[in-house]
């Protein structure tokens, strides 16, 4: 035999580095049957114990459909006719961009029609902004 296939030397009276026998068939079957019996037994126990653990109010009171409906939050408010709503919205916006009106009367801010605003910009030009003062960056 080559050195690779020789059993390991015995230590403290124990054999080589592998088991000499498998787990017994009887032990394996008893273990599996025990797990199945335990599972079924726990299901039966829980079937009888669980109702005892439920709150008294839940067992004593059964809600009707109307009571459940009252307890639920209201449903979303949906648009009945989105196309009409969008048309109405666009008309309101078009009225805002094509008429004069107050934005903030207390501060004296008004809105003017877009066409008139474009004419005013064409006549007067855009306002000139003062350039920001240049800052000198120091190198460290």
Q: Which positions of the chain have pLDDT values less than 50?
A: none
The predicted structure's pLDDT at residue 67: 78
The predicted structure's pLDDT at residue 127: 81
The predicted structure's pLDDT at residue 87: 96
The predicted structure's pLDDT at residue 8: 59
Domain ranges, ordered by start, for the chain: 23-62, 82-124
The predicted structure's pLDDT at residue 41: 97
The predicted structure's pLDDT at residue 120: 92
100 touches 113 (CB < 8 A): yes
User: In angstroms, rounded to a whole number, what is the distance separating the alpha carbons of residues 40 and 65?
Assistant: 36
The predicted structure's pLDDT at residue 14: 60
In whole angstroms, how far apart are CA 34 and each of 28, 29, 30, 37, 41? 10, 8, 6, 5, 10
């Amino acid at each position: 035999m080559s050195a690779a296939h020789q059993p390991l030397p015995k230590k403290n009276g124990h054999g080589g580095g592998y088991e000499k026998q498998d787990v017994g068939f009887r032990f394996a079957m008893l273990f599996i049957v025990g797990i199945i019996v335990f599972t079924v037994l726990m299901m039966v126990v829980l079937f009888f114990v669980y109702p005892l653990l439920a709150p008294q109010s839940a067992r004593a009171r059964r809600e009707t459909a109307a009571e459940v409906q009252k307890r639920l939050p209201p449903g979303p408010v949906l648009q009945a006719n989105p196309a009409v709503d969008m048309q109405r919205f666009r008309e309101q916006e078009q009225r805002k961009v094509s008429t004069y009106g107050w934005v903030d009367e207390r501060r004296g801010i008004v809105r003017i029609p877009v066409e008139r605003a474009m004419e005013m910009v064409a006549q007067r030009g855009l306002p000139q902004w003062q350039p920001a003062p240049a800052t000198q960056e120091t190198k460290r």
